[in-house]
Each structure stands twice: as structure tokens, then as C-alpha cells.
Amino acid sequence: MLINPEDKLGHIRREIYGNFSEHLGRCIYGGIYVGENSPIPNIHGLRKDVIEAFRQIRLPVLRWPGGCFADEYHWKDGIGDKAGRKRMVNTNWGGVVEDNSFGTHEFMELCELVGCEPYIAGNLGSGTVQELSEWVEYMTFDGVSPMAEARRRNGREAPWKLKYLGIGNENWGCGGNMEPEFYLAEYRRYQSFCKNFGGNRLFKIACGPSGGDAHWTEVIMRGLRPDMAQGISLHFYTVPEWEHKGSARVFDDAEYLRTIDCAWLLDEHITKHSEIMNRYDPEHRIGLIVDEWGTWFDVEPGTNPGFLYQQNTMRDAMVAALSLNILNRHSRRVVMANIAQAVNVLQAVVLTDGEKMIKTPTFHVFDLYKEHQDGDAVYCYAADDRLAEGSRARTLSTSASVKDGVLTLTLANCSLTDAARIDCAVSRFPGKLESARILTQEVHACNDFDDPENVRIEPFDATYENGVLRAELPPCSVVELRVRAE
Ligand code: AHR
């Protein structure tokens, strides 16, 4: 292996380590929000344990309220006196009644408590230009206007700062089944009326492609100027076969290999969309935002199929680790990513059961990787050994960054059978090993409510001498090594 700390690939914006939270299953209700009268410790109804967990991984940005839910969400139903808030049916996710007790004020307070940027996904599919324009005014206008006055009446004097604004979600699918040309025209109109009030500067995000859909990207990029959109989104889930997703916990080695192989598609998709974006935007003024990614398995037996609740094992940890390495390596074009989802849905970082909360193996990967946030991604070469014959997956996934004189290297050994010996020359970087940490377990291992610490980060043995990092990674492991320059 080889690292050149002077060869910069991009800047790893902290937003690459973002999460996504939707009104889906128990993500918001029960997961993030329990209401002020709950015996579960909370601040204005927001779970303290979940806030603390988000702070631990330095969660930089949280996307809300969907997902598919975003394009049927009408924000005015979620403000004001809770008893009077309109109820609605969540048609996408289980047909449950949504009481709108968690709305704009609750979400913005959550972000303030966590210390993260809010990322609002606006409704283009079933909303109106006026509705979205007024939401921006409600949140960000400091002067005298109907929306700003309404915000004050609802208890919030000062405007919030809102940077990230998505305009529509999956408008090629649940967000309206649109053709790209039609969506583009709608987007251009909607974004024109989303204004920058006072010192607030919106970073507007257009709906981008699903997976490898190059045509969508081509049409959207051709029709956008950097003043109209600063980002376009990409959604990619690790699902080898949509008709047979399989269990999150019970799988054989062949399924594991298929999952890891599929996760590596993220690299191909980003490369393909970046090539298109490079043609229309060689100056990188429009960022690629992977605002939904992660594994998607069958729901846990006995749970509501519309709630997408799945357990999280070391297999998920390996997917998270290699995906984040891919995102770091593409940080010249990728400026944000949001794993789906934060709590109790799909590849969640935390799971809750009543008053209990556990941190999943995926959470621990975010914890292991957090020092990459705001670092410069640097050249890191590893031999291209494939996990299996004909697989696109590499056995060893890596990325490296430098921040404040410290080199951070993260590695995932995806083999289930073989250790990986690391001899990594770091050019012109005299220094000393500051820390070495590992997450490793048998691939099916998970944390559950009876054994919440089963999978956890442990100290690890490694050396750094004469510019060479040496370590031996056990099978199915994720490692973080940090070297401080001297
Ligand atoms: O994350 C679950 C769903 O997956 C989202 O609502 C939607 O955007 C995507 O299809």
C-alpha cells in the first residue's frame, strides 16, 4: 500500500457523514420524538439518548421529512398548537395516521440540539410553488411578512438558518413519476421562488438520478445553471435483487458476497454521473449529493412491512465502511451523503425499543470514520485484489485524509476468511502513531437490546516506523489508524 499525503484528491466535507430521517415507521415517532409527556428522557419531546448518539458521531447534517413522504407533506399542517394540527394518512409507509406533532419547529430544534445543519426536502410532487416559497419565508425571513409573523406567533422569534433545500424527492418515481424534461422545467420554476432572505443563502438541490440512470443526469445537468442548483442528488441502495432482498440477520456467504459486490456499484455510479457532470460543470460548481444510500433487507419478522425496520450486523458495517471510503475518494464531486436512515429504518445508526436505544455496527463505523470530516482526501493506493472471481468488490477498501497535521487512514477487510497484512509506505510524513482502533466480529454479529455492546470499537495493534504503517487486519474488520506529523 502507498499513501501520498501531498497528493490531494478533494476536500471531505463533513456533510458526507450525514443522515436521513423520514416520517416512516418508527424513525420520527418513537425513534427521535416521543412527545413531552413521555417517561423517556426528552427535551421538548426529542429523545436525549438519540441526540447524544448523534452528537457522538458529530452528525453534520440531517435530511427531513422524506423521502417519498416529502412529496405528500404539507408543512403548514405541522405548525402551531399540536392539538389543532391536521391529521393525514401516510400513504407511502403503512397507511398510518400522521398527527403532525413533529413539524418544522421540532425538526429545527432537533438540529440545534445536535449541532447539525438541517436539510429540508421540499414538496414538488403534490405541493405548489407558493407553498414551498412560503416555507422558506417562514423559516428564514427576519422582517415583517405574513410567514415571519406566523413563525413568531408559533414561538420562534428569530429566523433559522437554512442552507440545504431539496426541491422534490425521487420525482422519477414516488415524487410524481415525471420525465426528466418535465421535472427540469418544474424545478427551474420552483427554485426561482425560493429566495435568499437577509444573510441566509440557500444551497438548492435538484432531484438527480436513481442508481446508474445516466439519461436523467444528462437532461438535468444540460438544463441547470449553477445559480439555479448547487447540488443534484443520487439515490443508491445496496440491494442485489429487489424481489428477494433477504433477511438482514440470516444470510449465507454467497449472499454476503452479493451484498458487498452490489455496494461497490456506488463507485461505478458516482464515476459515471461525475463524468456527465464534468462535461457540463468542469468547475465543480454543482455538487453530487448521495442523499439516500445504504442496505435494504426484508423487515424483521413480525414487524409492519411498511415500516422498513431491519437489524444491523457486521455485514452492514462492512457496507458502511466501504461506501464511506468510496465517498471520501470522490469528495471532489460528492459534497454530501445521507445514509438511510438515522433511526429504526433500513441501515439505521441507532435502534430503539421503548426507552432502550442501541448503537448499531453502522453507528460504530461512523464513529471510527469521523476524523475524516473536514479533512483533505489524499492519494491512497492498495492492490486491487478481488473478493471473489468475477466480483467488482475489492477485498480491501481504503481511504486516507489529512487534517491539522494528522493522517487518518480507514480500511475495511471484507474477506470472511483471510487476514489482510498491511505494509503501507507513507511518503514524506515523519510522525508517530496516535491511535489505532478496530471494529471486528463474526459477520452475523449485531447489537440487540439484551446485548447492546456485543459489537463495539476496541483498541488495535499497529506500528508506524520509518514511514511505514504495519498492521494485520482480521477477516471482517474495519480499522482506523491515525498518524500525527512530527
Ligand atoms: O428510504 C426509504 C425510501 O426509499 C424513501 O422514502 C425514498 O426516497 C426511497 O425510495
Q: Based on the domain organization, do 179 and 231 belong to the same domain? A: yes
The rounded percent of the chain whose pLDDT value lies above 70 is 100
Q: What is the pLDDT of residue 228?
A: 98
Question: Which atom, in ligand 1's list, is nearest to the CA of 346?
Answer: 1
Does any domain span residue 5? no
Residue 381 in grid coordinates? 493506493
- Are 419 and 472 contacting, i.e. CB atoms less than 8 angstroms apart? yes
Q: Based on the domain organization, do 303 and 439 belong to the same domain? A: no
Q: What is the CATH number of the domain that holds 477?
A: 2.60.40.1180
Q: What is the pLDDT of residue 63?
A: 98
d(C-alpha 446, C-alpha 117), whole Å = 30
Q: Based on the domain organization, do 412 and 291 belong to the same domain? A: no
Does any domain span residue 97? yes
Place of cell 492498495: 382
d(C-alpha 208, C-alpha 185), whole Å = 14
Neighbours of 155 (CB within 10 A): 9
Residue 384 belongs to what domain range?
A: 379-485
Q: What is the pLDDT of residue 351?
A: 98
- For residue range 225-247, list pLDDT tens digits in order: 999 999 999 999 999 999 999 99
d(C-alpha 345, C-alpha 340), whole Å = 7
In this prediction, residue 319 has a pLDDT band, given cuts at 50, 70 and 90, of: very high
d(C-alpha 207, C-alpha 107), whole Å = 22
Q: What is the pLDDT of residue 308?
A: 98
Mean pLDDT (the chain, rounded): 98
Q: What is the pLDDT of residue 426?
A: 98
pLDDT, mean of residues 94-98: 96
CA of 475 to the centre of ligand 1 (A): 32
Ligand 1-lining residues (CB < 6 angstroms): 22, 66-68, 169-170, 292, 340-341, 346
pLDDT, mean of residues 370-398: 96
The rounded percent of the chain whose pLDDT value lies above 90 is 100
d(C-alpha 341, C-alpha 123), whole Å = 19
Q: Nearest CA to 20 among 419, 343, 427?
A: 343
CA of 158 to the centre of ligand 1 (A): 32
Question: Which atom, in ligand 1's list, is nearest to the CA of 341?
Answer: 1
Does any domain span residue 2? no
d(C-alpha 89, C-alpha 72), whole Å = 10
Q: What is the pLDDT of residue 167?
A: 98
Does any domain span residue 213? yes
- How far from the centroid of its chain's Cα atoms is residue 171's Cα? 19
Does any domain span residue 201? yes
- Are 81 and 25 contacting, i.e. CB atoms less than 8 angstroms apart? no
- Are 380 and 1 contacting, i.e. CB atoms less than 8 angstroms apart? yes
CA of 153 to the centre of ligand 1 (A): 34
Q: What is the pLDDT of residue 56?
A: 98
Q: Based on the domain organization, do 393 and 310 belong to the same domain? A: no
Q: What is the pLDDT of residue 69?
A: 98
Going by their DSSP bridges, the two strands 458-459 and 431-440 should be labelled as antiparallel
Q: What is the pLDDT of residue 283?
A: 97
d(C-alpha 269, C-alpha 17), whole Å = 19
Residue that finishes a domain, picked among 333, 348, 375: 375
Q: Based on the domain organization, do 202 and 313 belong to the same domain? A: yes
Going by their DSSP bridges, the two strands 287-295 and 334-340 should be labelled as parallel
Q: What is the pLDDT of residue 346?
A: 98
Is pTM beyond 0.95? Reply is yes
d(C-alpha 403, C-alpha 7), whole Å = 13
Does any domain span residue 6? no
CB burial readout 101-131, b (16+ within 10 A) else e: bbbbbbbbbbbebbebbbbbbbbbbebeeeb
Q: Based on the domain organization, do 153 and 273 belong to the same domain? A: yes
Closest residue CA from atom 9 of ligand 1: 67
- Are 464 and 432 contacting, i.e. CB atoms less than 8 angstroms apart? yes
How many distinct structural domains can be found in the chain? 2
Closest residue CA from atom 2 of ligand 1: 67
CA of 68 to the centre of ligand 1 (A): 6
* Ligand 1 pocket mutation, candidates 19, 21, 23, 68, criterion most atoms within 8 A of CB: 68
Q: What is the pLDDT of residue 422?
A: 97
Q: Based on the domain organization, do 108 and 218 belong to the same domain? A: yes
Q: What is the CATH number of the domain that holds 125?
A: 3.20.20.80
Residues in CB range of 386: below 8 A, 6 or more apart = 392, 393, 394, 395
pLDDT, mean of residues 288-309: 98
Catalytic residue list: 170, 292
Q: Based on the domain organization, do 329 and 400 belong to the same domain? A: no
Question: Which atom, in ligand 1's list, is nearest to the CA of 70?
Answer: 6
Question: Which atom, in ligand 1's list, is nearest to the CA of 292?
Answer: 1
In this prediction, residue 419 has a pLDDT band, given cuts at 50, 70 and 90, of: very high
In this prediction, residue 46 has a pLDDT band, given cuts at 50, 70 and 90, of: very high
Residue that finishes a domain, picked among 354, 375, 396: 375
| DSSP structural state of residue 49 | H
- For residue range 177-214, list pLDDT tens digits in order: 999 999 999 999 999 999 999 999 999 999 999 999 99
Does any domain span residue 337? yes
CA of 106 to the centre of ligand 1 (A): 22
Q: Based on the domain organization, do 415 and 428 belong to the same domain? A: yes
Q: Based on the domain organization, do 393 and 460 belong to the same domain? A: yes
Residue that finishes a domain, picked among 375, 407, 437: 375
Q: What is the pLDDT of residue 196?
A: 98
Q: Based on the domain organization, do 206 and 220 belong to the same domain? A: yes
Q: What is the pLDDT of residue 82?
A: 95
d(C-alpha 116, C-alpha 99), whole Å = 25
- Are 394 and 454 contacting, i.e. CB atoms less than 8 angstroms apart? no
Q: Based on the domain organization, do 144 and 94 belong to the same domain? A: yes
d(C-alpha 86, C-alpha 97), whole Å = 10
Q: Nearest CA to 472 among 440, 449, 446?
A: 440
Closest residue CA from atom 5 of ligand 1: 67
- Are 19 and 338 contacting, i.e. CB atoms less than 8 angstroms apart? yes
Does any domain span residue 328? yes
